Chain A
Amino acid sequence: MAITPLSVEDIFDRLKRGKRWDFPGGVHPAEHKTLSNQSEIARVKLADKLYIPLKQHIGVEGELQVSVGQKVLKGQPLTHSAHPFAVPVHASTSGTVVDIAPQVAAHPSGLSELSVVIEPDGIDQWIDLKPLSNYQEMDKAQVVEAICDAGISGLGGAGFPSHIKAQPGKNVEFLVINGVECEPYITSDDRLMREHAWQIRQGIDVLVHLLAPRHVIIAVEDNKPEALDALSVACRDASNYLVCDVATKYPAGGEKQLVQVLTGREVPGQGLPIDVGVIMYNVGTCFAIADAIFSGKPLVERVVTLTGGALNKPHNVWAPLGTPVEHLLSVAEYQPGKQASPRVIMGGPMMGFTVTDARVPVVKITNCLLVPSVDEVRNDNAEQPCIRCSACADACPASLLPQQLYWHSKAAELDKAQDYNLFDCIECGACAYVCPSEIPLVQYYRQAKADIRNQRDEKDKAERAKRRFEARKARLEAEQQAREEKHRKAAEARKQAMQNKDTDKSARVSDAIARAKAKKQQTENVTEPVAETQPKNAAVAAAIARAKAKRAAQTDAEKKPEATVQPSPAHNHESDNDDAESAAQRKQRQIAAAVARAKAKKQQGQDVNKTTPAQHKSDEAGNNEQQSEQDIQRQAESKQQRIAAAVARAKAKKANRQQAQNTSDSDDVTEEKNSQS
């Protein structure tokens, strides 16, 4: 575009002289703004219930801070998170949390999202507010945190968390305040600028303090002269603030388009405006920031335009976040008879989406509810073949080729669609607006984009699965190798031993015998069922038994040298001898073990007897302890039951499987027979 990049001052001078750049394409739909911008922003009475979704911005949702039944005050945070992309939501009025459950979301899909349902108590009592009136003396991080804690995310439509933009980490040349509001019908920003220009100015001052931009440009479309005047008056004393009128053309209010119109710069494809030294805030966001800093009020309400031919009283209202659409419709006197079928659009006619349910709540990005009469919208079902007229390409503000995108999206050639820069489409709807064949082009692009995103996610997941699978395989192989190594070493050791056999045969023999004995004893110990679950006494008894066994083993070992002293030619005989010996010893040990067991058992019984009086005592002392003990007992019982149940299930399953196997086996057999025959 610009052959030699202009300096910041040149650009600002140019704007001062009233010159603007232009963006390609664009359309001029009928504005219909006077429908709703004639009266002041009205206050509405509270709805019976407010549905506040936990996530109303781009990013992640916070953790819930309230529970069902809890009383909340207006402005009380409902969520909290330390995540940088998390913005809290607040109670829009005082009342009771009656439910926390998935509710239909303000989303074109009509799917549900986790929401807090608040029943207002009618008092509308604020929580303690902590204004930061002396923000200029405070640490910037503190101010940014206050903005974040106030739950402010972009009110223009995208819902990008405002505090993230407030700490860009780069040099800000232009701070652009977007009051363009280029979509037809919508007048919420218009009214806000007219009525609250001074507070918007305060918000801008806060942002200037945070961002320290070279210049501030406040852009308003030239079809809003009153708003332009109000802002000009409010910003008269600031020399580096410039209120700019922008030629009325849709979508001049798009972030990228406005950057181009004001500075002649283009935001890089995958980049953000800050990459060309620009930061943009919506006027509504500025207003909310001023609210947060100077009165400490979090974002709990916003201006919503209620408009359209099917409303008797189109006007702007302050709607508490979470107010269901049906409530606002009744406020504006909705006339269903004026529509072919009930249809409510959240947002404007170009980019808004149809709400799926009357209970859909107003959220932070809801700037308009458009309820068009039957002659204000076109029938959607009139798609005709594309005649390649390229009206769409002429209208595209991003200089894309909507037609090619359409062919490829429709044919699900997602790679090719991406080659034609599908993801640079801002979904402004200009192409579909001008299409003579009434093709819902944007719908095709959205589907293609969603498909590409899903495919990408799937691909990522597959890649991850592959890596994990390979890592697992490697691990198993390593284990296998380690095992083999061990076996090999053991085998080598055996071999070595075999070689030594001749010289040290008898020693080995006695060794083996000792090993066998020890093993036997060990198994005996283990088979004692008392060991683990018994109380201490039993364990002590078992320990004694083990000690005895050990001693016995030791005596065995002591005997070993005796055995090795006289090398005997009659190998078998000796071993027989040994066996006999060990049998006698075994008997002894068994008796000892049995005695130990019996003792343990007895002691256990005594234990139980003892604990009963103890329990009585503790009964007197306090119920708590006993309860907890009973709890433990119950738990133990239930655990036993569960184990029993699990075992039963396992058995059932085994039986089942065997049966299945049998039948399948027989099936196989019959099949085989069949195939043979």
Chain B
Amino acid sequence: MKFALASSPHQRVNRDTGQIMRMVCYAALPGIAMQCWFFGMGVLVHLLIASATAVATEALILELRKKDFERAVKDCSALLTALLIAVSIPPFAPWWITVIGTVFAIGVVKQLYGGLGFNLFNPAMAAYVMLLVSFPVQMTAWLPPQSLAEQSHNLMDAISIIFSGFTTEGYSISQLRVDVDGVTLATPLDAVKTGLTQGKTVSETLGLSIFNGATGIGWFAVNAAFLLGGLFLLQQRVISWHMPISMLAGLALTASFFYLLDSDQYSSPWFHLFSGGAMLGAFFIVTDPVSGSTTRNGRLIFGAAIGIWVYIIRQWGGYPDAIAFAVLIMNMAVPLIDYYTQPRTYGHRSNSSNKGARR
């Protein structure tokens, strides 16, 4: 009798890479729904464009690299990258922004480095930064929440404006950004920053119509929805708690410190946690396993450092939101962090003795 040979263990958990990626995608659905609700259907259109581009790019490059692209596409990692790009860019940004970003993310940041598992940087964030630096106008053209806008818009408008630049009724994107009072609206983070440069205190700025309580209308809901999705991922043990919690803690603690120092100059930790991409970043972007730290302590340091960087860039940097920059900066530090946070192996006093030997 001929027996089949295999190496132990012969049992495995029933969760492969594709399932993990799909679960992350599902967890992002509430957040996407909220975005649609408050900022229009544009995000859905971008999601479709990005997904198609990502899968096509991945398949093409894998074909060129003579790899089995069918399985690689099935692992859904490209889809997740596409999703993150789509939710990060403004909903009514032109279509080519998404295409360029996605092609860059998959083609350059991911595949040029060797494909899944080998990229140093988070592909979605690297693409976002590339777009932000290259197309600052389009990338910052966030619409105000629909309830505040003078012109309402629907899915057809969204498609039309993404592909032609004008709604079906002929309004341009800049017209859509004007509120009923005829004031061009920005995101809350933007507004606070602009307000501060104009000499207003945070609380004065927060009196503007786009703010609803401590955070902006819509933004709170979107962040809360992403938080919900993140909690689902934690509960399912798809992600570990280390990175998101430490990142939020890093952000909140830094914000609290400065808020307590001077509440006129610095906005509250609450505002920071529920503005911009904080929750999306904490649960969906920072937790990217490929470009993150791999040791337990390393993940804590990695997350916390991102939180601090986010605050620093938001507060003193030139850009309103900072998740992408913070993530990329810390991506670069990962090998260093991993090196110095190796756990103590069972039965060894410490790892310092090995470090001397390694060089």
Residues of A participating in the B interface, judged by any CB pair closer than 8 Å? 23-24, 27, 29-30, 108, 110, 184, 256, 260, 266-269, 271, 326, 340-345, 347, 349-358, 370, 372, 376-378, 380, 382, 384-390, 393-394, 397-401, 403-404, 416, 419-421, 424, 427, 429-430, 432-438, 440, 442-443, 446
Output the least CB separation between B288 and chain A (Å).
Answer: 9
**Chain A residues, CB < 8 A from B66:** none
Interface string of B339-359 (1 = CB under 8 A from A): 000111111100000100110
A108, A326, A342, A429: the one within 8 Å of B9 (CB): A429
B71 touches A384 (CB 8 A): yes
Q: For the complex, what is the distance from the CA of A344 to the CA of B6, rounded to whole Å?
A: 10
A343, A347, A438: the one within 8 Å of B12 (CB): A438
Q: For the complex, what is the distance from the CA of A110 to the CA of B296, rounded to whole Å?
A: 40
**Tally of chain B residues near chain A (CB < 8 A):** 43
B343 touches A399 (CB 8 A): yes
Q: Is B170 an interface residue (CB 8 A)?
A: no
B357 touches A349 (CB 8 A): no
A350, A354, A399: the one within 8 Å of B3 (CB): A354
Output the least CB separation between A323 and chain B (Å).
Answer: 16
**Chain A residues, CB < 8 A from B118:** 385
Output the least CB separation between A647 and chain B (Å).
Answer: 52
Interface string of B95-122 (1 = CB under 8 A from A): 0000000000000000000011110000
**Given that A268-B347, A387-B116 are contacting pairs, would A349 and B9 also be in contact in the complex, using a CB cutoff of 8 Å?**
yes
Output the least CB separation between B348 and chain A (Å).
Answer: 5
B2, B12, B289: the one within 8 Å of A387 (CB): B289
**Chain B residues, CB < 8 A from A23:** 346
Output the least CB separation between B349 and chain A (Å).
Answer: 9
A399 touches B8 (CB 8 A): no
Output the least CB separation between A314 and chain B (Å).
Answer: 16
**Chain A residues, CB < 8 A from B15:** 436
Chain A to chain B contacts (Cβ below 8 Å), 10 pairs: A30-B11, A256-B347, A268-B348, A353-B8, A358-B3, A384-B116, A387-B20, A390-B299, A399-B346, A401-B295
Q: For the complex, what is the distance from the CA of A356 to the CA of B343, rounded to whole Å?
A: 38
Residues of B participating in the A interface, judged by any CB pair closer than 8 Å? 1-13, 15-17, 19-20, 71, 75, 77, 115-118, 240, 289-290, 292, 294-296, 299, 342-348, 354, 357-358
Output the least CB separation between B175 and chain A (Å).
Answer: 44
Output the least CB separation between B122 and chain A (Å).
Answer: 12
Q: For the complex, what is the distance from the CA of A388 to the CA of B20, rounded to whole Å?
A: 13
B354 touches A388 (CB 8 A): no
A350 touches B345 (CB 8 A): no
B294 touches A401 (CB 8 A): yes
**Chain A residues, CB < 8 A from B115:** 385
Q: For the complex, what is the distance from the CA of A144 to the CA of B348, rounded to whole Å?
A: 33
The chain B residue sitting closest to A386, CB to CB, is B117
**Chain A residues, CB < 8 A from B354:** 419-421
10 closest A-B pairs by CB: A429-B9, A443-B7, A389-B289, A385-B117, A398-B346, A349-B11, A341-B4, A343-B4, A399-B343, A269-B347
**Given that A256-B347, A354-B3, A356-B3 are contacting pairs, would A433 and B358 also be in contact in the complex, using a CB cutoff of 8 Å?**
no
**Given that A384-B75, A390-B294 are contacting pairs, would A424 and B13 also be in contact in the complex, using a CB cutoff of 8 Å?**
no
A341, A349, A356, A424: the one within 8 Å of B347 (CB): A424
**Given that A350-B9, A351-B9, A393-B294 are contacting pairs, would A400 and B345 also be in contact in the complex, using a CB cutoff of 8 Å?**
yes
A382 touches B8 (CB 8 A): no
B17 touches A387 (CB 8 A): yes
How many A-B contacts at CB < 8 Å in the complex?
172
The chain B residue sitting closest to A266, CB to CB, is B347
Output the least CB separation between B183 and chain A (Å).
Answer: 46
If A266-B346, A350-B9 are given as contacts, then 8 extra A-B residue pairs at C-beta distance below 8 Å, sorted by A number, are A256-B346, A356-B3, A357-B3, A385-B118, A387-B20, A390-B299, A432-B8, A438-B16
Secondary structure at chain A's binding surface: helix, strand, loop or mixed?
A: loop
Of B12, B290, B295, most buried by chain A (CB within 10 Å of CB) is B12
Output the least CB separation between A87 and chain B (Å).
Answer: 25
The chain B residue sitting closest to A389, CB to CB, is B289
**Chain B residues, CB < 8 A from A427:** 8
The chain A residue sitting closest to B357, CB to CB, is A419
Q: For the complex, what is the distance from the CA of A376 to the CA of B115, rounded to whole Å?
A: 32
A388 touches B11 (CB 8 A): no
Output the least CB separation between A126 and chain B (Å).
Answer: 34
A356 touches B290 (CB 8 A): no
A416 touches B8 (CB 8 A): no
Q: For the complex, what is the distance from the CA of A421 to the CA of B346, rounded to whole Å?
A: 10
B345 touches A434 (CB 8 A): no
The chain B residue sitting closest to A403, CB to CB, is B294
**Given that A384-B71, A385-B116, A387-B17 are contacting pairs, would A433 and B9 also be in contact in the complex, using a CB cutoff of 8 Å?**
yes
**Chain A residues, CB < 8 A from B348:** 268-269, 421, 424
**Chain B residues, CB < 8 A from A271:** 347
**Given that A394-B240, A436-B15, A446-B7 are contacting pairs, would A421 and B20 also be in contact in the complex, using a CB cutoff of 8 Å?**
no
Of B20, B77, B348, most buried by chain A (CB within 10 Å of CB) is B348
A260 touches B346 (CB 8 A): yes
A401 touches B71 (CB 8 A): no
B6 touches A354 (CB 8 A): yes
Q: For the complex, what is the distance from the CA of A91 to the CA of B77, rounded to whole Å?
A: 59
**Chain B residues, CB < 8 A from A378:** 10-12
A387 touches B10 (CB 8 A): no
**Chain B residues, CB < 8 A from A269:** 345-348
**Given that A355-B3, A358-B3, A401-B342 are contacting pairs, would A184 and B117 also be in contact in the complex, using a CB cutoff of 8 Å?**
no
Of A24, A384, A394, A433, most buried by chain B (CB within 10 Å of CB) is A384
Q: For the complex, what is the distance from the CA of A343 to the CA of B357, rounded to whole Å?
A: 43
B16, B19, B289: the one within 8 Å of A382 (CB): B16
Q: For the complex, what is the distance from the CA of A377 to the CA of B2, rounded to whole Å?
A: 18
B8 touches A424 (CB 8 A): no
B294 touches A388 (CB 8 A): yes
B9 touches A432 (CB 8 A): yes
Output the least CB separation between A3 and chain B (Å).
Answer: 14
A342 touches B11 (CB 8 A): no
B295 touches A393 (CB 8 A): yes
B1, B7, B17, B117: the one within 8 Å of A358 (CB): B1
**Chain B residues, CB < 8 A from A266:** 346-347
A349, A386, A401, A416: the one within 8 Å of B358 (CB): A416
A432 touches B116 (CB 8 A): no
B8 touches A349 (CB 8 A): yes
The chain A residue sitting closest to B3, CB to CB, is A342
Q: For the complex, what is the distance from the CA of A615 to the CA of B173, rounded to whole Å?
A: 129
**Chain B residues, CB < 8 A from A356:** 3, 5
**Chain A residues, CB < 8 A from B116:** 384-385, 387
Output the least CB separation between A373 and chain B (Å).
Answer: 12
B292 touches A433 (CB 8 A): no
Output the least CB separation between A158 and chain B (Å).
Answer: 15
Q: For the complex, what is the distance from the CA of A200 to the CA of B343, rounded to whole Å?
A: 39
Q: For the complex, what is the distance from the CA of A352 to the CA of B9, rounded to whole Å?
A: 7
Q: For the complex, what is the distance from the CA of A230 to the CA of B14, rounded to whole Å?
A: 36
The chain A residue sitting closest to B20, CB to CB, is A436
A350 touches B11 (CB 8 A): yes
A387 touches B117 (CB 8 A): yes
The chain B residue sitting closest to A359, CB to CB, is B1
The chain B residue sitting closest to A265, CB to CB, is B347
B11 touches A184 (CB 8 A): yes
Q: For the complex, what is the distance from the CA of A435 to the CA of B75, rounded to whole Å?
A: 14
B347 touches A429 (CB 8 A): no
A436 touches B7 (CB 8 A): no
The chain B residue sitting closest to A432, CB to CB, is B9
B345 touches A398 (CB 8 A): yes
Output the least CB separation between B89 and chain A (Å).
Answer: 25
**Given that A267-B347, A403-B294, A424-B347 are contacting pairs, would A345 and B10 also be in contact in the complex, using a CB cutoff of 8 Å?**
yes
